[in-house]
Structure 1
Amino acid sequence: MIEKCWNEIGIQGDRSCAELNTVIHCRNCSVYTRAGRNLLERDAPENYRAEWTNLLAQTPTPVTSDRNTLPQLQRATAEFFDPLSLVIFRLGAEWLALAASTFQEITPPSPIHTLPHRSNEILLGLVNIRGELLPCISLSNLLGLERQGTHPKLLNQQGDLTRVVYSRMVVVNIQGDIWVFSVDEIEGIHRCDRHLIEEVPSVVSKAPISYTKWIVNWRNKKINYLDEELVFSTLKRRIL
């Protein structure tokens, strides 16, 4: 039985493990490393080799990578079970997500250099990322979100210190255009099954919903999965 403490008191649980203060993430812990090694070095099940030998000896069936050539029902089934890769982050009180393929880099905050007569509430200026000056924007202002004061320490409902979070800057590439914006917290890359996705309600009052492609159910939260093409095409119109 593999000890899976990371799902209970670790990074995927309530984060109450005292070792997190030292190792930061479960993947840096010896328990996590030992569990992975035991998984890879475990004994093969009975008849495992015989089953694979018979399987590999069978005549392969041609497989097409073009889903458009598949029957309609088979194509719909393949799309339903194909998970989405997304990056979940927080702006103020709002949890949002963008396609993982749009993210190029995640960095600590860097100084923003304003542009004379060009910087405004959306285009904040330029930021130096690995020696390259890139345009830095306020995604919160573009989406019309209300910003709240952010603190690195978060408290639970009882007022007890539960975890520490830090703001980050993210670099995204949208159809060759590179932008940088700040987030108050980032949860990293997640694979989301499509059955956890909901259509956007037709009547809503929250500002970012007009830029939302889907609603994603994640850890008892409703995440606005942003339509990156709509968001950044609107951005270009607003600042150019």
Structure 2
Amino acid sequence: MNSVNLSSNLERCWDIIGVTGDRSCSQLPTYAHCRNCPVYSAAGRQLLERPTLENYRHEWTQLLAELRSVENSPNSSALLASETLKVVIFRLQREWLALPAQIFKEIASPSQIHTIPHRGNQTLRGLINIRGEMLLCVTLNHLLHIEAVNTTMQTVSAIAHSRMVVVEKPGNTWVFAVDELYGIHRLHRQELRDAPRNQTQAYAQGIFSWHGGTVTYLDDELLFTSLARKVQ
């Protein structure tokens, strides 16, 4: 491309006669795009190799030292404990449970579940169509050892409907039914208490108080790992 003074920010040939300019550069047919031109590459090298600004290293050294000081501080655990958790609360039978909100991909109405030949077990229910995609449908009741009850459960919302929820982590997507879905709730990590020892709480990271009762905050990593193992 035509030679320009690369030291001047106002004379960037790619913005004047190149692809983002009037495209009058005589070398444009040869290189097709400015990013393939030696002049453009030289400008990039000049930008990366420019001298650091005064006090640049000092400012970054000071900032990193402050961060390291916070990490090593006796109060660092208190700072982590104040982290806000965003969870989705739902009910299975009488149990109120929660999972991290970021793993929830979709909420759907109940629909037909198609059984998989020769793949029957108490955790895997079959395949379900979610927006044209066939996904594995499981039951958490069996995995978490939640027993069915015949008595009427007091609901939180005025109208409680069962729902199918889709949860997803990289490489794994599961669908399961819930008896009632409350929605998103925020809490501080310090609100979590140790869960009592029983079969359901084996998957718990902790419990927290909510609406006069308790909610079990499930370990999503352990849950996904167990589901993958159970449906094999």
Q: Do both proteins adopt the same fold according to a TM-score greater than 0.5, normalized to the shorter chain?
A: yes
Partner of 2:29: none
- Structure 1 runs not aligned, ≥5 long: 1-61, 157-161
Partner of 1:233: 225
Is 1:125 the equivalent of 2:117? no
Q: CA deviation at 1:238?
A: 1.5
Alignment of 1:79-228 (within 5 A): 79-149=80-150, 163-201=158-196, 204=197, 206-228=198-220
Q: Is the 8 A contact 2:107 2:166 kept in 1?
A: yes
Deviations 1:122-144 (A, max 9, x none): 11000000110000000111111
Q: Is the 8 A contact 1:68 1:75 kept in 2?
A: no
Q: Is the 8 A contact 2:138 2:174 kept in 1?
A: yes
Q: Is the 8 A contact 2:165 2:176 kept in 1?
A: yes
| TM-score (norm: length of structure 1) | 0.63
Q: CA deviation at 1:92?
A: 0.3
Aligned mates of 1:179, 1:111 — CA distance in 2: 15
SS of aligned partner of 2:158 = strand
Task: Point out 4+ residue stretches in structure 1 off by more than 4 angstroms.
Answer: 66-69
Deviations 1:3-46 (A, max 9, x none): xxxxxxxxxxxxxxxxxxxxxxxxxxxxxxxxxxxxxxxxxxxx
Q: Is the 8 A contact 2:172 2:224 kept in 1?
A: no
Q: CA deviation at 1:191?
A: 0.6
SS of aligned partner of 1:187 = strand
Q: Is the 8 A contact 1:92 1:150 kept in 2?
A: no
Q: Is the 8 A contact 1:67 1:75 kept in 2?
A: no
Aligned mates of 1:111, 1:175 — CA distance in 2: 26
* Alignment CA distance shift 1:150-1:132 (3 Å): farther
* Alignment CA distance shift 1:75-1:148 (3 Å): same
Q: CA deviation at 1:175?
A: 3.2
* Alignment CA distance shift 1:79-1:120 (3 Å): same
Q: CA deviation at 1:110?
A: 1.4
Q: Is the 8 A contact 2:167 2:173 kept in 1?
A: yes
Report the AA paired with residue 211 of structure 1: Y
Deviations 1:49-68 (A, max 9, x none): xxxxxxxxxxxxx977x976
* Alignment CA distance shift 1:77-1:183 (3 Å): same
- Structure 2 runs not aligned, ≥5 long: 1-61
SS of aligned partner of 1:118 = coil
Partner of 2:79: 78
Aligned mates of 1:236, 1:191 — CA distance in 2: 28
Q: Is the 8 A contact 1:135 1:180 kept in 2?
A: yes
Deviations 1:53-92 (A, max 9, x none): xxxxxxxxx977x976634345323312221111110000
Aligned mates of 1:150, 1:105 — CA distance in 2: 29
| TM-score (norm: length of structure 2) | 0.65
